[in-house]
Amino acid sequence: MSMSALRAAKQALRRDIKRRVAALSDAEKQRQSLVVSQKLIRHPKYVSAQRIAVFLSMHDEVCTQEVLRDVFKRGKTCFIPRYESNSSHMDMLKLNSLQDMETLPLTSWNIRQPAEDDNSRDEALATGGLDLILMPGLGFDRVGKRLGRGKGFYDNFLERCNRHPKGKPYTIALAFKEQLCQEIPVDDNDVLIDEVLYEDDK
């Protein structure tokens, strides 16, 4: 597939998934988020992980509030993304508590994240790496291909993780059933995810 055909295929799929997720009621999103969060909280890779990167969810993503609560309850170390608005660079910075989160400024995407000039926080890769990264995304398939929003933040960050002495962290995506696709078109820069958690019907 040519680059432009791939881009077009991804754009069409993004529109399709956005439409499916937009059709979900808030109550249904909440219900699935709870199911997926409980799956994660029982997952051996989560249980054993000490240093975890958690995304702060947008309206069309599995809500990570329950997960954040559990991370702090178990005394794990939590890192959250700071996206640089004019590049595809992202850092994972330490979040100290749920209260700490409430004090963070809101971005134009209505997501809380540490301010650009906030240098007081530990950055994950500078302070010992990560055990587990929870991955957001628009769409996923069952073999771990991911469709992001097209900015490449996570792909670039995982590249940096791969070069870290600790090696690549385990990656788990949290998804609504409606975000699952038969197959996602990818190219060589797209990083595969180790596992996708969603509510299955078994």
Query: Which residues are within 8 A (CB) of 77 and not within 5 positions of it... i.e. 6 or more apart?
Result: 50, 51, 52, 94
Q: Are 138 and 148 in contact (CB under 8 A)?
A: yes
Annotated binding residues for ATP = 10-14, 146-154
Helix (H, G, I), strand (E, B) or coil at 63: coil
Burial of residue 172 (CB within 10 Å: 0-12, 13-18, 19+) is: buried
Helix (H, G, I), strand (E, B) or coil at 133: strand
Annotated binding residues = 10-14, 56, 61, 146-154
Helix (H, G, I), strand (E, B) or coil at 80: strand
Angle of CA points 2, 12, 184, to nearest 5°: 65
Annotated binding residues for substrate = 56, 61
State whether the Cα torsion 19-69-122-45 is positive or negative: negative
Distance CA 81, CA 135 (A): 11
Angle of CA points 60, 66, 69, to nearest 5°: 135
